Amino acid sequence: MERTVTSKPLTGDVFYPPPEIESQANVPEYETLYRRSLEDPQVFWAERAAELEWFQPWEEVLDDTEAPFFRWFVGGKTNIAYNCLERHVKTWRRNKLALIWEGEPGDTRSFSYHALDREVAKFANVLKSMGVKKGDIVSIYLPRIPEQVIAMLACARIGAAHSVVYGGFSVEALAERIEDAQSRVLVTADGGWLRGKIVELKQIADEAMARQPTIESCIVVRRTGQEIYMEAGRDYWWDDLMGLPIASPVCPSEPMDAEDLLFILYTSGTTGRPKGVVHTHGGYMVYTYTTLKYVFDLKEEDRYWCAADPGWITGHSYIVYAPLLNGATSFMYEGAPNYPYPNRWWRMIEKYGISILYTAPTAIRGLMRFGDAWPNRHDLSSLRLLGTVGEPINPEAWKWYYSVIGKERCPIMDTWWQTETGGFMITPLPITPLKPGSATRPFFGVEVDVVDDQGKPVPAGDEGYLVIKRPWPAMLRTIYRDPERYKNQYWSKFGHMYQTGDSARKDEDGYIWVIGRMDDVIKVSGYRLGTAEIESALVSHPAVAEAAAIGLPHELKGNAIHAYAVLRAGVEPSDRLAEELRNHVGHEIGPIAKPENITFVDGLPKTRSGKIMRRLLKARALGQPEGDISTLEE
Ligand code: PRX
């Protein structure tokens, strides 16, 4: 059956939503509501905000007098953790499951809203007893275990901010994040399970704490049970602390100003060190709550699984905060998708009756490679909706996901967004006709465009800069301790338009096709890394004088890192040295940052002002035309 969203039929390869999904969708129609949301966004967002609890109502929905430093729900007082837990505990949801968890070895735990609320209150009191106050920043470096969720919510509850460092990061990445946040408390674990092996989180944390001695107390979750070093007077076991009388289950949420700091999350940018993206209680709460409810069409009986890591923005917004704000039942899994066998995910979907699966193209490609027999062995009929995020999804992976996993019954929500945006920006709804590889249309209240160098919209089909033309509630507020960098990075090129750093095309139906990063950010398996971080890790090795990193297309990872190194005088290149350098990058930043290969060169192509021309290295590596090389130094 041919259907249309506008007056004319859609072009290209189009997949229409199944009638049973369409007829039950939380949002029955897009065009009119989208138009209305742009005509009066403040009314739209005020209505959404009113679905949550506020200790004191806001006076103004949006204050743009100090743009680009926007403020939302000005004067309002709330607490996101209160809305995630205490709000539900007062209702029948008290006994609903909030979180179901499975560890990689197969152990399981689950928490009702009541149980999760108690754990969070207890840990909040533990933090308080360690002197953590409103405004402090607690660093969290954990595997994918329930304590990750508990620790984050406990911070929010007492008005402290969290800075979560992904458990796959290593010594230098952790140390520089601790230092930038000036954290006095670190929460970590004795290890985590991945592919049957232990990730030595505490050992890495010890090294990082030695480099950045701001940490006074380190709380250690017992996950693997292995022997680890514990420093007297600094390191404490989580379960010991939770057994003390100070860990009382009574700890009401601190009333927070809508604009008070909720968390910082470090992400890679164009230059230099990772930047601390700042999100606040009010706007972030309203936006993540609404986007999840509308896009993944949450129903009370759903079992929702976001397979990301809480250490990245996807996990912050759509494992921790948005599902709990919606009173949903979430599933969380600790380990690798193919451990011990490539059917691990499919087995868990069947076992727990998962109805919504949200993951990344790299995971889909990785599982697709093992063939259809693994998923086909399992009953996946509980699935209702699928999702993807992190990088453009290639149509081949999209179609496999759609037909083999979703059995052509489950629409795929291809959500485009960023650490900085806090929540989905360009995304289908379950009622949206889909085109494989396109994130489709903007969410309500979001206005996007594709523009040229001058900021003028480009014609349909042409590539240009993806920009966002008005503020939205979950937008980053600033870069932690660096407001200038915030202005330069996001608002300098086009003035009043937010610069995403991505290139995109808009087709004749208004569908957006994101192409990829235009800056020095590389997406490896959907993870965001900066060339600068990899390069500085390389030059921190005594053999390396200078280095450059680029991303080249890779079948499974989307992009893979290739590095070039100029060695110091007297150092001989060898395969062994290349391997040593790769491991060094892994030790400093984390395994995901290890270059695929390292090429030893005598010099790097640079502009006359001394900037490395990564674009040229990339063109040469791909055998493409070198383009404009007029600025190349002789
Ligand atoms: O390039 C875009 C890509 O991921 C970048 C943001 O990375 P990060 O801040 O780590 O957040 C990832 C999870 C929200 C974007 O600038 N990206 C994200 N989602 C998509 C995407 N590219 C294409 N399609 C997507 N659905």
For 50-93, the DSSP string reads TTS--SB--SEEEE-TTTTS-EEEET-EE-HHIIIIIHHHTSGG
Residue 469 CA: distances (Å) to CA of 193, 369, 448, 479: 43, 40, 6, 20
Let me know the angle formed at the C-alpha of 120 by 115 and 126, rounded to the nearest 5 degrees: 130
Question: What would the mean pLDDT of 154-171 be, rounded to a whole number?
Answer: 97
pLDDT at residue 4, as a whole number: 46
Section 546-566 average pLDDT: 96
Q: Give the torsion through C-alpha atoms of 243, 248, 249, 255, to 10 deg.
A: -140
Neighbours of 13 (CB within 10 A): 13
Query: 126: which 2 tokens?
Result: 């533990």
User: Would you tell me how many other CB atoms lie within 10 Å of the CB of residue 467?
Assistant: 22
From the alpha carbon of 439, which atom of ligand 1 is closest?
26
Residue 634's pLDDT is what? 63
Q: Is 250 exposed, middle or buried (0-12, 13-18, 19+ CB in 10 A)?
A: exposed
* Residue 630 banded pLDDT, cuts 50, 70, 90: confident
CB count in 10 Å sphere of residue 236:
18
State the distance from the centre of ligand 1 to the C-alpha of 273, rounded, in angstroms.
19
**Best residue among 502, 505, 520, 524 to mutate for probing ligand 1, ranked by most atoms within 8 Å of CB:** 502
Write out the two tokens for 239: 């379960």
Helix (H, G, I), strand (E, B) or coil at 427: coil
Expressed in angstroms and rounded, the spacing between residue 416 Cα and the centre of ligand 1 is 6
Which residue from 473, 486, 446 is spatially nearest to 71, judged by alpha carbons?
473
Residue 553: cis peptide before it, omega within 30 degrees of 0 = no
Instruction: Tell me how far apart the alpha carbons of residues 306 and 535 are, in angstroms, rounded to a whole number.
Output: 32
Amino acid at 180: D
Give the confidence band of 192 by pLDDT, cuts at 50, 70, 90. very high
Q: How far is the CA of 97 from the centre of ligand 1 (A)?
A: 30
459 burial (CB, 10 Å; 0-12 / 13-18 / 19+) is exposed
CA of 389 from ligand 1 middle (Å) equals 6
Ligand 1 shell residues, CB under 6 Å: 267, 313-314, 389-392, 414-419, 439, 500-502, 514, 516-517, 523, 528
Residues paired with residue 626 on neighbouring β-strands, in sequence order = none
Pocket test for ligand 1, best of 292, 309, 528 (most atoms within 8 A of CB): 528
**Weakest-pLDDT range from 59-68, 280-289, 517-526:** 517-526
> What is the rounded distance in angstroms from the CA atom of residue 487 to the CA atom of residue 66?
12
- How many CB atoms neighbour CB 299 within 10 A? 15
* Segment (H or E) for 465: strand 463-468
| pLDDT higher than 80, residue 58 | yes
At 446-494, the pLDDT tens digits run 999 999 999 999 999 999 999 999 999 999 999 999 999 999 999 999 9
pLDDT band at 611 (very low <50, low <70, confident <90, very high): confident
Q: What is the DSSP letter of 492?
A: S
Mean pLDDT, to the nearest integer, of 622-631?
Answer: 88
- Predicted confidence (pLDDT) at residue 2 exceeds the cutoff of 70: no
pTM: 0.96
Instruction: Tell me the best of 266, 278, 291, 389 to mutate to test the pocket of ligand 1, counting ligand atoms within 8 Å of each CB and taking the most.
Output: 389
